[in-house]
């Protein structure tokens, strides 16, 4: 058996890599790195930029309803962004730190987190979004001379509409997850 191993080792080491243009490769890697950094900056800047834009365009500070509305929606956005950031970008640094077993476990955990973002956090976000926008609408509708019944109907129609839109997009994302993430989790769990 030991002779076999030595023989296989000699055959194994016959294979050599094809030469690469290393300078061209480094230029390419630098480009990928810059693109990745930019993506992360955009993702991190999205919330504060949105808040600043809204604060500039809307008189949020002069109206308590607008202010509460913006705070609730921002909280929801931050929550989703943190979840997405955790499950997507933090994968990079673990490639060399973890052994195969821990790496697989870690990836499975992150994939499950991503599934959870769709199934649980997105609904929580929907709730915050509907709540936030409805609070904002209280202030908007106060400016019009309409009865309380009509106002309630407007709130209800808007709420149902928002829930339907979010339900459609969450279900769509769930289907995509079931098609891509579930088989990957299954594959990783069966590696032994």
Partner 1 sequence: MKNKEQKFKKVYEQSKDKIHRLCLGFMGNKTDADDLFQEILIKVWNNLNTFRNESSIDTWIYRITTNTALLTLNRKTKLNKKEIDYQPNIPHYEIENLNSTDKEQEVKKLYKAISSLKEIDRIIIGLLLENCSYDEISNITGLKTSNVGVRINRIKKTLSKKLK
By CB under 8 A, name the binding residues for partner 1.
1, 4-5, 8-9, 11-18, 20, 22, 25-26, 29-30, 32-33, 36, 92-104, 107, 183-184, 187-188, 191-192
Based on CB atoms, which residue is closest to partner 1, 37 or 120?
A: 37
Beta carbon of residue 30, minimum distance to partner 1 (angstroms, whole number): 7
Query: Is 12 or 144 the residue whose CB approaches partner 1 more closely?
Result: 12
CB of 118 vs partner 1, minimal distance in Å: 20
Q: How far is CA 79 from CA 72, 113, 137, 152, in A?
A: 11, 13, 23, 29
What DSSP assignment string belongs to 46-88?
Answer: HHHHHHHHHHHHS-GGG-HHHHHHHHHHHHHHHHHHHHHHHHH
How near is the Cβ of 88 to partner 1 at its closest, in Å? 14
Closer to partner 1 at the Cβ: 57 or 92? 92
- Secondary structure class of 127 (helix, strand, coil): helix
**Residues 177, 118: Cα–Cα separation, whole Å:** 9
Output the smallest distance, CB 183 to partner 1, in A: 7
Residue with Cβ nearer partner 1 (11 or 148): 11
Distance, CA of 68 to CA of 94 (rounded, Å) = 39
What is the Cα–Cα distance from 84 to 132, expressed in whole angstroms? 21
* Minimum CB distance to partner 1, residue 100 (Å): 5
Nearer to partner 1, 115 or 129 (CB): 115
With CA atoms as reference, report the closest residue to 135 among 56, 48, 76: 76
Q: How far apart are CA 142 and CA 147, in angstroms?
A: 10
């Amino acid at each position: 058996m030991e002779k076999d191993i030595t023989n296989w080792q000699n055959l194994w080491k016959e294979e050599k890599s094809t030469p690469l243009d290393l300078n061209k490769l480094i230029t390419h890697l630098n480009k990928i790195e810059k693109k990745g950094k930019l993506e992360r900056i955009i993702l991190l800047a999205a919330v504060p930029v949105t808040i600043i834009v809204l604060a500039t365009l809307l008189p949020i500070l002069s109206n308590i309803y607008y202010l509460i509305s913006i705070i609730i929606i921002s909280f929801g956005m931050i929550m989703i962004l943190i979840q997405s950031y955790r499950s997507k970008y933090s994968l990079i640094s673990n490639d060399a730190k973890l052994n195969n077993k821990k790496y697989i476990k870690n990836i499975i955990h992150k994939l499950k987190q991503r599934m959870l973002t769709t199934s649980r956090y997105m609904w929580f976000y929907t709730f915050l979004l509907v709540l936030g926008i409805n609070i904002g609408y209280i202030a908007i509708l106060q400016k019009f001379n309409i009865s309380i019944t009509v106002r309630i109907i407007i709130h209800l129609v808007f709420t149902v509409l928002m829930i339907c839109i979010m339900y459609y997009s969450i279900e769509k994302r769930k289907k995509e997850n079931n098609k891509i993430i579930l088989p990957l989790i299954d594959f990783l769990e069966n590696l032994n």
